[in-house]
Amino acid sequence: MSVIQTPNGYSLDNRGQRVVVDPVTRIEGHMRCEVNVDADNIIRNAVSTGTMWRGLEVILKGRDPRDAWAFVQRICGVCTGTHALTSVRAVEDALKISIPDNANSIRNIMQLSLQIHDHLVHFYHLHALDWVNPVNALKADPKATSALQIATGPNHPKSSPGYFRDVQNRLKKFVESGQLGPFKNGYWTNPAYLLPPEADLMAVTHYLEALDFQKEIMTTRTIFGGKDTHPNWLVGGVPCAINMDGELAAGAPINMERLNYVAGVIDRTIDFVENVYIPDIIAIGSFYKGWLYGGGLSGKSVLAYGDIPDRANDYSPKNLMMPSGAIINGNLKEVLPVDLRDPDQVQEFVPHSWYSYPDEKKGLHPWDGITEPNYKLGAKTIGTSTNIQQLDESAKYSWIKAPRWRGHAMEVGPLARYVVGYAQGHPEIKDQVDKTLAALGVPLEALFSTLGRTAARALEAQWSAHKQKYFFKKLIANIKAGDSSTANTEKFDPRTWPKEVKGVGFTEAPRGALAHWIRIKDTRIDNYQCVVPTTWNGSPRDNEGNIGAFEASLMNTKVERAEEPVEILRTIHSFDPCLACSTHVMGPDGEELAVVKVR
């Protein structure tokens, strides 16, 4: 029991009441969170733990590099596709394969549709219940709700008082049945919910509308990738050949009918994001703009790799339409370049993770990464090895490693991208951010908060919706200019490959910067390492005691009721955690872990 100062500026005090949230729900995968609150219910210590792992990297060893995308795609079915894209880029980088322009446009449309779908589903179906109280919606006046809808989202056609009355009636009967389903045991009497009933009713209505609409957003990926979840990808391009007016075009993957379908989806997606999602963020934000907790590392240390190459095969920052760079120590005046090949930049540490290194004071670059499991609980753990009551954060306490950029704990994700973009003066991002701040009447500092993270995600969905259209037009123009090529198969045959190569591929996944490092030897995978967004954000303490982004974001937050973790969920959810992603790693031989002893 003590107070510790971390090098990255936090004062950790674990003397107060310990609050444990396990499982943290409405996330992908499994996670645990423990905090200590002081006598005023303010969080003074935070511990976040990844509670699952699966071992995909070791499973990849010895496999065909052309198959790797399918394995790593199964790291996560929520950000489905982004690992696959990262993987084919890593293999193409290693083998120096260039892809056709059409493949670049199609990949970008698929990746952007993921950003939109993921952000929208995250907000409405994973995150909204942290802000919105469906039970309170029963008290709303449908007429006033209609007026609110017209005032905030005037272009959304579903706005009549009768419409909201119908939804309210359906909701009322659902609640009265006593079978609350997913809403059961929510914290519906907690004073942390601040919306008036009309805003709650509007938001619940859009929860249902978004659940219906989301299935349409990703159908662009069904057209180009054959199915969703988990569409198909290809090293060297995309598998969907184009045949506009040739023989048998009707049975070709891409023809006029297929492209018309995509065009329609892209337009309807823009409409929904602009007329429902963005107005909801402004409306909800206007009631919560006094609740600006949760900034954590976002105003200090943020990292983005960049994504969405405008021209094919050029991954340099100036050709990437999503920003790349690092900001440290809160110095927004300087955005530092990021090099994923530099052994001194991205490194992973394990002194507080359930893995061991020969020398745990040092970090390792992913090309030289070691993943040897070592599930050991600290001496101050309360409970047993298979029934943990309380973790000991001074020892190892998570299945997540601690990645650092030049030694700094970093936040990644939509807010990190928007902070980097804003600092660089990215015109579209700056415009979006300034307009949102003005609409809410808050200063730039408000961006560095839980609410800012949630707002940045919505703005990015809007940006992505328009960029989908940009790349669709680009695709059409290129086909019109006579280029129907979709794949470069020159080096598809492994017999054409050099004996030993290595490569790195990166994307901006919905949750943040993502990279895969691969070594290929004798046409097989020799080593494969992924450092994923939730590894950055959900990282435990490192060798120097720096806390990670989740932990930092919870610090100094006031909770209304310690036994009802609304505020903890709200802030953790604002990162859109993806635990299957962060904890996919495993030891080289898959050996069983040592028996855990609580000392």
Q: Does 81 bind other proteins (CB under 8 A)?
A: no
Tell me the C-alpha distance between 152 and 174, whole Å: 27
Q: Which amino acid is at 442?
A: V
Tell me the C-alpha distance between 534 and 312, whole Å: 28
Q: Which stretch binds other proteins (CB under 8 A): 214-222, 313-321, 335-343, 446-454?
A: 214-222
* Least distance CB 233 / other proteins (angstroms): 8
Among 2, 39, 173, 359, binds other proteins (CB under 8 A): 173
In the block, residue with structure tokens 């000991």:
392
Q: Which of 353, 369, 372, 354 is nearest to 590 (CA)?
A: 372
Q: Does 161 bind other proteins (CB under 8 A)?
A: no
Burial of 344 by CB count in 10 Å (0-12 exposed, 13-18 middle, 19+ buried)? exposed
Burial of 574 by CB count in 10 Å (0-12 exposed, 13-18 middle, 19+ buried)? buried
Q: Report the relative pairing of strands 512-521 and 355-356 from DSSP bridges.
A: unpaired
* Least distance CB 88 / other proteins (angstroms): 12
Mapped onto helix, strand or coil, the DSSP state of residue 184 is coil
Rule CB under 8 A: which of 414-433 touch other proteins?
none
Mapped onto helix, strand or coil, the DSSP state of residue 239 is coil
Over the window 252 to 291, marking each residue x when it contacts other proteins by CB under 8 A and - when it does not, the resulting string is: xx-------x------------------------------
Q: Does 77 bind other proteins (CB under 8 A)?
A: yes
Q: Which is nearer to other proteins, 213 or 405 (CB)?
A: 213
* Least distance CB 18 / other proteins (angstroms): 13
* CB-based contact 368:517 (threshold 8 Å): no
Q: Does 383 bind other proteins (CB under 8 A)?
A: yes
* Least distance CB 394 / other proteins (angstroms): 18
Q: Does 52 bind other proteins (CB under 8 A)?
A: yes
Tell me the C-alpha distance between 538 and 548, whole Å: 6
* Least distance CB 167 / other proteins (angstroms): 8
Q: Which stretch binds other proteins (CB under 8 A): 216-224, 307-315, 345-353, 400-408?
A: 216-224
Q: Does 483 bind other proteins (CB under 8 A)?
A: no
Q: Which stretch binds other proteins (CB under 8 A): 36-44, 144-152, 239-247, 407-415?
A: 239-247
* Least distance CB 158 / other proteins (angstroms): 14
* Least distance CB 523 / other proteins (angstroms): 11
Q: Does 324 bind other proteins (CB under 8 A)?
A: no
Q: Does 218 bind other proteins (CB under 8 A)?
A: yes
Residues in the interface with other proteins (CB under 8 A) total 112
Q: Does 198 bind other proteins (CB under 8 A)?
A: no
* CB-based contact 63:56 (threshold 8 Å): no
Among 64, 310, 372, 483, binds other proteins (CB under 8 A): 64
Q: Which is nearer to other proteins, 99 or 504 (CB)?
A: 99
Alpha-carbon distance values, 103 to 98, 142, 493 (Å): 10, 48, 19
Mapped onto helix, strand or coil, the DSSP state of residue 240 is coil
Q: Does 59 bind other proteins (CB under 8 A)?
A: yes
Q: Report the relative pairing of strands 302-309 and 320-327 from DSSP bridges.
A: antiparallel
Q: Does 214 bind other proteins (CB under 8 A)?
A: yes
Alpha-carbon distance values, 319 to 40, 322, 433 (Å): 50, 9, 22
DSSP state of 596: P
Q: Token pair for residue 506?
A: 């990166």
Rule CB under 8 A: which of 564-593 touch other proteins?
564-565, 569, 580, 586-587, 589-590, 592-593
Q: Which is nearer to other proteins, 126 or 475 (CB)?
A: 126
Q: Does 215 bind other proteins (CB under 8 A)?
A: yes
Q: Token pair for residue 30?
A: 């499994």
